Amino acid sequence: MVKGELKVEKVYFTYPSRLNVPVLQGLSLSIQSGQTLALVGPSGCGKSTVVSLLERMYDPNKGVLKFDGESLQSLNVQWLRSQIGLVSQEPVLFDTSIAYNIRYGTSFREVSDEEVEMAAKAANIHNFIITLPQDYNMNVGSKGTQLSGGQKQRVAIARALVRDPKILLLDEATPSLDSESEKIVQEALDSARKGRTSVVIAHRLSTIHIADCIAVIKDGVVIEAGTHNQLMEWKGAYYKLNKAQSL
């Protein structure tokens, strides 16, 4: 049975196009099944690189990433990716129906109308879709121009959920939305994480206070890790990041 435990053990990584710029320099992380791990830190510290490595877009130069105790490199890539749902900062929607855009989340099996609707409900977008003249058959336009930023993001969440993934990767999934849209999207993300192992990259620290573990990354290594309350009590790097955002 797939549990969804993740481990990153002493991983070193440099992008092939920038061999003289080390990104990860011995980074280690661990996350139990069903927990949420948040990654924070300055731009370029390696947060998004961790997500890329978990998806097997790259392999580490040194060290190992594990899924349920097995090295990612020993697993079938298609199977691994079928266990992962990704919601990124800029969702790519296609010039076709809402239903097709949601179905696109899984290419390894047929997806029923009921599954599309269930995913939309979980992503907090179903009630909006059924108010449209063509509901799920509405064309979203090129790059989703017929939808607002928050609506596009929730369609992208539904796309990630339609495969019922064990792992959810959220790479800055609440981008520059207005406060009301951000609240709706955040509620959808909170619902989506239930029962799944989640790795969250967030610049807005207010969105990750409830994470089971928050890891602060600097220069490719974890310099602090703990709950929000623990890190605030320690008054270290995370505390300083929070204070800077509250100014």
Assess whether pLDDT exceeds 70 at residue 247: no
Give mean pLDDT, residues 85-112. 86
Domain annotation for the chain: domains and CATH numbers? 1-83+209-247 (3.40.50.300)
Q: Where are the alpha helices (DSSP H) in the chain?
A: 47-54, 77-82, 98-103, 113-122, 126-129, 149-161, 179-193, 228-234, 237-245
CA distance 91 to 87: 7
Confidence of residue 108 (pLDDT cuts 50, 70, 90): low
> What pLDDT, on the 0 to 100 scale, is given for residue 175?
61
Query: Can you tell me whether residue 6 is helix, strand or coil?
Result: strand
- Asked if 47 and 23 touch (Cβ cutoff 8 Å), the reply is no
pLDDT, average across residues 179-189? 84
Looking at residue 89, its pLDDT comes to: 80
User: Is residue 218 over pLDDT 90?
Assistant: yes
Cβ(214)–Cβ(238) below 8 Å: yes
Q: Mention every residue, 6+ apart, whose C-beta is less than 8 A from residue 239.
A: 231, 232
pLDDT given at position 185: 84
pLDDT at 182: 81
Q: Which two tokens stand for residue 163?
A: 């495969």
Is the overall model pTM greater than 0.85, yes or no?
yes
* Per-residue model confidence as pLDDT tens digits over 28-70: 999 999 999 999 998 889 999 999 999 999 999 999 999 999 9
Cα–Cα nearest to 169, from 85, 92, 102: 85
pLDDT surpasses 70 at 22:
yes
Examine the pLDDT at 102 and tell me if it is beyond 90.
yes
The percent of residues above 90 in pLDDT, for the chain, comes to 69
Name the average pLDDT for the chain: 91
Residue 139 is classified by DSSP as: B
Could you count the other beta carbons within 10 Å of the beta carbon of residue 102? 28
CA distance 71 to 68: 9
